[in-house]
Amino acid sequence: MLNLDVPIVPRLHPASTLSVPETGEQYLVVQATRDQECNYFRISKHTYRLLELMNGTRDLTEIASEYNRRYSGTLDAPQVLQILEKSRLKDWGIVDIDGSAQPVNHPKASYLWMRIKIFPADWVNRAAGLITWAFQPLFFWITLLLTNFTLLGIILLEDLNLQGIRSYFIENSVLALYAWYTATVLFHELGHAAATRRFGARPGAIGFGFYLLSPVFYADVSDAWRLDRGKRIIVNFAGMYMQWVICAGMMLIYLIVNDAFWFYGALFTFVVSLYNFNPFLKYDGYWVLSDALNVPNLRERSNLVLKGIVRALWNGRIPAISWKETLLLLYALCSWGMMLLFLGFIVLINPSEIVRFPAKLFAFFTEIISAGHLPAIALLKAFMIDAIQPISFYLILILSIKKRFYHGK
Ligand SMILES: [Zn+2]
């Protein structure tokens, strides 16, 4: 406990700056970390105002009285201290109360496993600068026309064998397909960076990680938090849009040379881009919806609403909910429904595999240990492919159970 008899002069740690977008709809603390990256914290208007008053010479009492004078508040020094400590600004090393504050390196985007940087921020920034022209309105409309309308028009009007697409590519070259997929996805990430840059924020690195067992690329566009919601929505759509730009290019070539390869390529690129719409996993659609509803931490917040309503119903009351809570409730229900459907789907396809998997895994490892060497690559590969579904099943199960207990504490 700090002694309040000695004047305490809290200050904003030099690594942190305050930021507020033009629209003034949210308040941010931006904290530079040791690894040249930034952490972004949303704070309330009141906290922002308090931090603004900390000029390094005012003590707690002076901050409180200045706050009361400017905003006709009723704060006193212990309350100011309590706000600073309760908001964990001290723990994060944003507010320095006793001269010991250090910026913390928060694990960023913790839903990604094994994040590694591939392209550093400088490179990304330069490359993004080369494609900002793609965000010109005219170019946008041409892209939209060529991808969505022309593509759908050809699918509807011409007698193309859509079932044949998969086999067309698999027969021709799976490797080329993967290479193409990787290239479009990297371009997708560059799209997020380019939109960020176009609006005047600084794009970060592009890297690689795992999300729910799938390998994914990511673009660090956390500086877009400085932008207003509308611009952030465009930044989050920009990745998908870049894939449409590629798609439009292929459609154009198809329309000129009339070779099915280009059409299939365009369609493949388009279909791949649509995965990002899924708002129930943390893909781009999730962040768009979160900004559109103006609900940060959409998943957590919607689960809280669901929990509150279930609890109220359990206690025999019918809770009054706002339209926003209704939307959050809907989101939570759909989200859980999708998860259950997914789990149910895995169980239904191959129930015996799920049940027998732990025993199989045990047998697999005891065999390796008793043999004293690793199994042949082909055998290992076959085992891994068989294991993907059971592992996803158990992982999701374990994670949801863990989460429940963690929240229960
Ligand atoms: Zn994206």
**Along the 409 residues of the chain, how does pLDDT read in single tens digits?**
555 567 788 888 877 877 776 666 677 777 776 555 677 777 888 888 888 888 888 888 888 888 899 888 888 888 888 888 777 777 778 888 877 777 776 555 456 777 788 898 899 999 999 998 898 889 889 988 888 888 888 777 776 666 666 666 666 666 777 888 889 999 999 999 999 999 988 898 898 887 766 778 888 888 888 888 889 999 999 999 999 999 999 989 988 998 878 888 888 888 888 888 888 877 899 989 988 888 878 888 898 999 988 898 888 888 888 888 899 999 999 988 888 887 777 777 777 777 788 888 888 888 888 877 777 777 777 777 777 777 777 777 776 666 555 543 3
**In angstroms, rounded to a whole number, what is the distance separating the alpha carbons of residues 117 and 123?**
12
| Segment holding 119, helix H or strand E | strand 113-119
What single-letter amino acid sits at 287? W
Q: How far is the CA of 17 from the centre of ligand 1 (A)?
A: 28
Closest CA to 189 of 252, 118, 251, 136: 118
**Quick one: 214 and 269 in the same domain?**
yes
The answer as to whether 361 is a domain residue is yes
What are the DSSP calls for 240-277, one per residue?
HHHHHHHHHHHHHHHHHH--HHHHHHHHHHHHHHHGGG
* 266, 292, 318 - which closes a domain: 292
The answer as to whether 233 is a domain residue is yes
* 242, 266, 292 - which closes a domain: 292
CA-based torsion, 220, 192, 289, 282: positive or negative: negative
Q: Which two tokens stand for residue 285?
A: 């659609």
Q: How far is the CA of 239 from the centre of ligand 1 (A)?
A: 5
Q: How many CB atoms lie within 10 A of CB 308?
A: 14
Domain count for the chain, please give it. 3
**Quick one: 124 and 20 in the same domain?**
no
What are the DSSP calls for 5-49, one per residue?
TSPP--EE-TTEEEE--TT---EEEEEE-TTS-EEEEEE-HHHHH
The CA distances from residue 113 to 19, 192, 202, 214, 243, in Å, are: 30, 21, 24, 10, 25
The answer as to whether 162 is a domain residue is yes
Q: How many CB atoms lie within 10 A of CB 189?
A: 27
Give the environment of ion ligand 1: residues with CB less than 5 A: 239, 284
* 40, 70, 96 - which closes a domain: 96
Q: How far is the CA of 273 from the centre of ligand 1 (A)?
A: 9
- pLDDT number for residue 115: 78
**Quick one: 223 and 359 in the same domain?**
no
- pLDDT number for residue 114: 74
Closest CA to 189 of 203, 169, 210: 203
Q: How far is the CA of 235 from the centre of ligand 1 (A)?
A: 9
User: Domain range spanning residue 395?
Assistant: 350-409
The answer as to whether 125 is a domain residue is yes
- pLDDT number for residue 181: 86
Q: Which two tokens stand for residue 303?
A: 């689960």
- Burial class of residue 269 (count of CB atoms within 10 Å of its CB; 0-12, 13-18, 19+): buried
What are the DSSP calls for 173-222, one per residue?
-HHHHHHHHHHHHHHHHHHHHHHHHHTT-----EEEEEETTEEEEEE--G
The answer as to whether 204 is a domain residue is yes
**In angstroms, rounded to a whole number, what is the distance separating the alpha carbons of residues 286 and 291?**
9
Max intra-chain CA distance, the chain: 84
Q: How far is the CA of 201 from the centre of ligand 1 (A)?
A: 17
The answer as to whether 313 is a domain residue is no
- pLDDT number for residue 196: 93
pTM to 2 decimal places: 0.72
**Quick one: 138 and 76 in the same domain?**
no
**Quick one: 44 and 141 in the same domain?**
no
